């Protein structure tokens, strides 16, 4: 009987620097600080994972400045099982709060509803608010509180358009408009997904 085949993940070698944290390395090398557990598993690390103090180095703790293994990009796999798979899946949010199912599990959003939720959340999150994701969000919240004018509405519409158009699941933005409502701004965006399905977004910030 042939021994079972074990798939070894492809990896590359990356540099580490004095003062690095495992989250900082994940953000720099993988583009997402939340993927730090991937680095821990691949390098068989244990807390504190990486240190700049040679006296704290033990098996499973990397000395800053030494190389670290980083997962290499996976080969592209074409043709997802369903068009909705391209829009991914995430926990469902209601007014920024997690929702639960009757069974007590986290409610999930998938397909176009998840895409809509993700884009709406990106538009209402101020760009630069998340330290590990400095490019996430939009500039719309920065103009809230300014004197209402056609210029501020145009700026909000353009900021929203740029956020939606940057998402790889969007093929094109059909229309983006905004209007001042008291001390808030209502933004509406109509777009088309990569599978030709319409997605209509509306947020009030």
CATH of the structural domain 83-204, one choice from 3.90.1580.10, 3.30.930.10, 3.10.450.40, 3.20.20.60: 3.10.450.40
Question: 76 pLDDT band (50/70/90 cuts)?
Answer: very low
pLDDT given at position 8: 54
Model pTM greater than 0.85? no
- Which DSSP string corresponds to the chain? -PPPP-PPPPEEEE---TT--HHHHHHHHHS-GGGHHHHHHHHT--TT-EES-GGG--TT-EEBTB-EEEEPPPPP--S-SSGGGGG-EEE-EETTEE-B-TTSSBPEEEHHHHHHHHHHHHHHSBTT-STT-TT-SBSGGGGTTSPP-HHHHHHHHHHHHHHHHHSTTEEEEEEEEEEEETTEEEEEEEEEETTS-EEEEEEE-
Summary mean pLDDT of the chain: 83
Nearest-5° Cα angle at 63, 44 to 72: 50
Q: Where are the domain boundaries for CATH 3.10.450.40 in the chain?
A: 83-204
Instruction: Quick: pLDDT tens for 31-51.
Output: 888 889 999 999 999 999 999
What integer is the mean pLDDT of 185-203?
89
Specify whether the CB–CB gap between 43 and 68 falls below 8 A: yes
Nearest-5° Cα angle at 17, 44 to 41: 15
Q: How far apart, in whole angstroms, are the C-alpha atoms of residue 114 and residue 72?
A: 27
Q: Which of 51-60, 94-103, 133-142 has the lowest mean pLDDT?
A: 94-103
């Amino acid at each position: 009987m042939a021994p079972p085949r074990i798939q070894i993940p492809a990896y590359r070698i990356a540099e580490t620097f004095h003062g690095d944290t495992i989250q900082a390395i994940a953000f720099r090398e993988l583009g997402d600080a939340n993927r730090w557990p991937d680095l821990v598993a691949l390098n068989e690390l244990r807390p504190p994972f990486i240190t700049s103090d040679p006296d704290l180095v033990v098996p499973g703790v990397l000395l800053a400045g030494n190389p670290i293994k980083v997962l290499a990009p996976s080969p592209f796999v074409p043709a997802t099982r369903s068009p909705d798979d391209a829009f991914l899946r995430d926990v469902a949010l209601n007014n920024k709060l997690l929702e639960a199912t009757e069974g007590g599990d986290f409610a999930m959003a998938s397909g176009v509803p998840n895409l809509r939720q993700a884009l709406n959340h990106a538009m209402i999150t101020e760009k630069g608010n998340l330290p590990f994701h400095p490019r996430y969000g939009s500039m719309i919240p920065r103009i809230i509180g300014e004197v209402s004018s056609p210029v501020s509405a145009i700026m909000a519409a353009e900021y929203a358009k740029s956020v939606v158009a940057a998402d790889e699941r969007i093929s094109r933005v059909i229309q983006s408009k905004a209007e001042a409502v008291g001390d808030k701004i209502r933004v509406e965006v109509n777009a088309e997904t990569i599978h030709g399905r319409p997605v209509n977004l509306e947020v009030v910030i």
